[in-house]
Structure 1
């Protein structure tokens, strides 16, 4: 990559990250290219030259957001941590990432946009599944996950959550205390309804 290409990549990245930052406090439909250009310190023409339209910018920004989240997941998995530490990290990062964004926007980009959905699914299959399978296998080996639970069962539960993400996001959006509700959903996913295995 030559100097011009590096500079172009940096500008493109800055515009996308600025867009995602603005979406934490703006509704997508109210956010204008002019607002993004001002916040990023570039011209509107520059944004149109790189992305062509606001819709394409939102899509590319969210894709970049997903790529970075997966990269962080991969880096976290390289560290020697207990399952509890990893789960705590994932809960924190998921809450931080998605609770700050408009649930309607996340639903639109992750569920209703078929191209985006297929992209995320491909990334999930190719990069996330092997790492999660490794995490579950290590958890079983260390005794942190019950031997009654198979790797396949855990991955199936994750798939079920992904497939129902649209309905879940709708529920979160309507809830009076969104953060508390997210806490409850994460708790049920990772720890179950009882929070611990019942004694037989």
Structure 2
């Protein structure tokens, strides 16, 4: 990569980073290219040259964020951690993701952007499900997950859980300690009411 490409990549990363910061506090519809331009200290023309439109920029922020999260998860999977350590890592990733992209925001973005919806579906099918299946198989091989529980059962349970995640976040916001509430829900999901680990 030559000097020009390195500089271009740094500028693009700065724009993505500043846009993500704005998405944490502002509805995407309220974000303007002028605001991003000011925060990233680049011209509006530069943003349009790199991304083409505000919608394409928001999509790339989302895609870049989740690509990095999946790569982080894949790296963690390959580092020889125990199932418990992998679950702890999943909890941390999940808390970060839902802080940055609450389910309501994700639903809104997917409803308004068919290309992003296709990306998420492909990511789920091609990368997330295989990683989940791998964790289940490793857990069964080590005796941590019962052999009586099928992969299909676990995947169905995950789907049910994720379909209710927005309601869980609402309950978490009303609790005394949001992070502790969410961690308890994820622990219960993985280890049941007995908390056996």
User: For 1:32-181, what aligned pairs fall within 5 Å after superposition?
Assistant: 32-110=32-110, 113-162=113-162, 164=163, 168-169=165-166, 172-173=169-170, 175-177=173-175, 178-179=178-179, 181=181
Query: CA contact under 8 A between 2:103 and 2:165: conserved in structure 1?
Result: no
Q: Quick check: 1:19 aligned with 2:16?
A: no
Q: TM-score, normalised by structure 1?
A: 0.81
Secondary structure of 2:50 counterpart: helix
| Deviation sequence 1:94-136 (CA, Å, 0-9, x none) | 1022124454322212466433222112112212222222221
Distance in structure 1 (CA, Å) of the matches to 2:111 and 2:169: 15
Secondary structure of 2:24 counterpart: coil
Q: Relative to 1, partners in 2 of residues 1:131 and 1:104: Cα closer, same or farther, differing over 3 Å? A: closer
The alpha carbon displacement at 1:80 in A equals: 0.7
Secondary structure of 1:42 counterpart: coil
Distance in structure 2 (CA, Å) of the matches to 1:102 and 1:137: 30
Q: TM-score, normalised by structure 2?
A: 0.82
Q: Relative to 1, partners in 2 of residues 1:112 and 1:122: Cα closer, same or farther, differing over 3 Å? A: same
Secondary structure of 2:18 counterpart: helix
| Deviation sequence 1:120-155 (CA, Å, 0-9, x none) | 121122122222222211111111112221223222
Q: Relative to 1, partners in 2 of residues 1:111 and 1:88: Cα closer, same or farther, differing over 3 Å? A: farther
Secondary structure of 2:146 counterpart: coil
Secondary structure of 1:148 counterpart: coil
Compare 41-50 and 84-93 and name the one that shifted more. 41-50
Higher helix share: 2
Q: Relative to 1, partners in 2 of residues 1:85 and 1:188: Cα closer, same or farther, differing over 3 Å? A: same
Distance in structure 2 (CA, Å) of the matches to 1:133 and 1:45: 45
Distance in structure 2 (CA, Å) of the matches to 1:111 and 1:183: 29
Distance in structure 1 (CA, Å) of the matches to 2:168 and 2:19: 25
The alpha carbon displacement at 1:73 in A equals: 0.8
Number of residue pairs matched by the alignment: 194
- Measured on the aligned residues, the alpha-carbon RMSD in Å equals 2.6
Distance in structure 1 (CA, Å) of the matches to 2:90 and 2:168: 21
Secondary structure of 1:147 counterpart: coil
Distance in structure 2 (CA, Å) of the matches to 1:192 and 1:111: 34
